[in-house]
Structure formats: C-alpha cells, structure tokens
Amino acid sequence: MYPHERSLVQKYENKPFAIVGVNSDPTPEFLRTVMKEKDLTWPSFFDGGGTGGPIATRWGVRGWPTVYVIDHNGIITDGHRGNLDEVIERLVNEVPPAK
C-alpha cells in the first residue's frame, strides 16, 4: 500500500487532495519510526495502540487496510467500492478553484 499512497501524494502534490491515516500500531514511537523509515509524509491519527482502538471501533473497522474516499465537501463517496485512482482523479477535478 505504501508505494501507491506515496505516488498519490506526489501526483496531487499541489492539488486539493490529502491522505489522512488512522494508525493502529502499538505506540506513537513505533508510528514515528515507521513514518520515518518508510518515508510517509501524510498525517495519521494515532488510535490508542491497537486494532481495538476507539476510532477503528467506532467506525466498525474489521479489516486493515480499510479506506474511505471523502469529497471536498466532507461527504463520503463510493470511492472505496470502485477504482480508487479513477474516483480520486474525478473528485479532485471537481473541486472548484479557490477564490
């Protein structure tokens, strides 16, 4: 997954796109080490130290990774059910230019 995410971040570097992670690793130190070693530049919520953390529990996540695509208005899309790259490309192009 990391190479795909890295390529998305690069492709949309100056576009209205962001990756936001919810991480279930054991400690913030562990997360910092992974981010540094794997060159992960996007932010993640630290979810309490395990797959039973509060965010994943509330969202009913049962498998990892699980992704959602949220549009620029904050609306959940069907992105996770289709071709991720195509959906993101379409949604990013739909974002009206900043005034």
Partner 1 sequence: MRATVLFGVLLLLLYCAAARGQDTKADPVQQQLDALLAAHEASELAYADAYRAFLPRFEKFIEEHRGSEPEARATLWLIQQTWWLREGNSMEKVNGAAMPLAEDLLKRHADSPQLDLLVEYKYNFSREQRETLFNRLLEISPHASVKAAAHFGLAQGSPARDEDGSPNEHFALLTTEFAKVKWRETTYGAIADAYLNPLSPADLAPGKPAPEIEGIDHNGNPMKLSDYRGKVVLLDFWGDW
Residue 35 host element (H or E): helix 28-37
Residues whose CB is less than 8 angstroms from the CB of residue 32 and which lie 6 or more positions away in sequence, other chains included = none
CA distance 17 to 12: 6
Place of tokens 């190479």: 3
The least distance separating partner 1 from the CB of residue 83, rounded to whole angstroms, comes to 13
Q: Which residue among 7, 11, 41, 64 contacts partner 1 (CB under 8 A)?
A: 64
Which parts of 24-63 interact with partner 1 (CB under 8 A)? 24-35, 37-38, 43-61
Contact residues: partner 1, CB under 8 A: 1, 5, 8, 16-35, 37-38, 43-61, 64-79, 81, 84, 88, 91-92, 95
